[in-house]
Amino acid sequence: MNLILLGPPGAGKGTQAVQIAEAFGLLHLSSGDILRAERKARTELGQKAQVLMDRGALVPDDLILAMMVEHIGRAAERNGFLLDGFPRTLAQAQGLKSRLESAKMRLDHVVSVEVEDSEIVTRLTGRLYCPECGRTYHEKFSPPQVAGVCDVNGEKLLRRKDDTPEVVRQRLETYHRETKPLIAYYGEQGLLRSVSGVGEIDEVTARIKEACGA
């Protein structure tokens, strides 16, 4: 089985990707992890990406596509692949479709994890972390015993720069503009499966499994 997980930042895609890949025996391919690994290994593709990023430029679709397709080729050793964080744009989705067809492969499901923007803002802006031990908290869902202070060492908790309301809203705007059109694209192909991303982790996992016919 070959599938894609779509959803806004903060929808829990990364967590669900690990759960689903393990449940179905799939090769989990995270575009962010692959990009970091390619850069660290200083592969040809990784070095090209690094040069662009050093200039402050975005890594272009064709480069991301080349990286992902190379790793997708390894899915033959497993029961299929799960793409997490890719494709992000319509151009990437169209390029992926072409490459898969050339390799006599196809997608089986595209799962869209649906979470309202207001819930995403609450999830992301409430995150806190300890700079000393790295432990994470959430102001609403998993608060420290003493507000603003780490339970382990008493250090003052911090908020990541990209978890401010302004940045979170910008990220959501980018998602709606660039990635959400993929929902219509895959819907037209009969591949889209929409599930609610609200609830306990195992509840969402069960919904995704059911959507994929498990």
Q: From the candidates 78, 88, 169, 209, which is the catalytic residue? A: 88
Q: Which residues pair with 158 in a beta bridge?
A: 129
Q: From the candidates 13, 123, 193, 207, which is the catalytic residue? A: 13
Asked if 160 is an active-site residue, the reply is yes
Asked if 99 is an active-site residue, the reply is no
Asked if 74 is an active-site residue, the reply is no
Q: What is the pLDDT of residue 26?
A: 96
What is the CA 104 to chain-centroid distance, rounded? Answer: 25
Burial per residue of 17-31, b for 16 or more beta-carbon CB atoms within 10 angstroms, e otherwise: bebbbeebebbbbbb
- For domain 3-116+179-211, is the CATH number 1.20.1070.10? no
Q: What is the pLDDT of residue 31?
A: 85
Residue pair 5/83 in contact (Cβ under 8 Å)? The answer is: yes
Q: What is the pLDDT of residue 209?
A: 97
Q: What is the pLDDT of residue 49?
A: 84
pLDDT tens-digit series, residues 26-78: 999 998 888 888 888 888 888 888 887 777 666 788 888 988 998 998 888 88
Q: From the candidates 74, 156, 160, 177, which is the catalytic residue? A: 160
Asked if 159 is an active-site residue, the reply is no
Cα–Cα distance measured from residue 120 to residue 118, given in angstroms and rounded to the nearest whole number: 5
Asked if 88 is an active-site residue, the reply is yes
Instruction: State which residues of the chain have pLDDT below 50.
Output: none
Q: From the candidates 123, 127, 193, 207, which is the catalytic residue? A: 127
Q: From the candidates 78, 169, 171, 209, which is the catalytic residue? A: 171
Cβ neighbors of 55 (< 8 A, separation 6 or more) are: none
What one-letter code names the amino acid at 159?
R
pTM here is: 0.85
Q: What is the pLDDT of residue 56?
A: 67
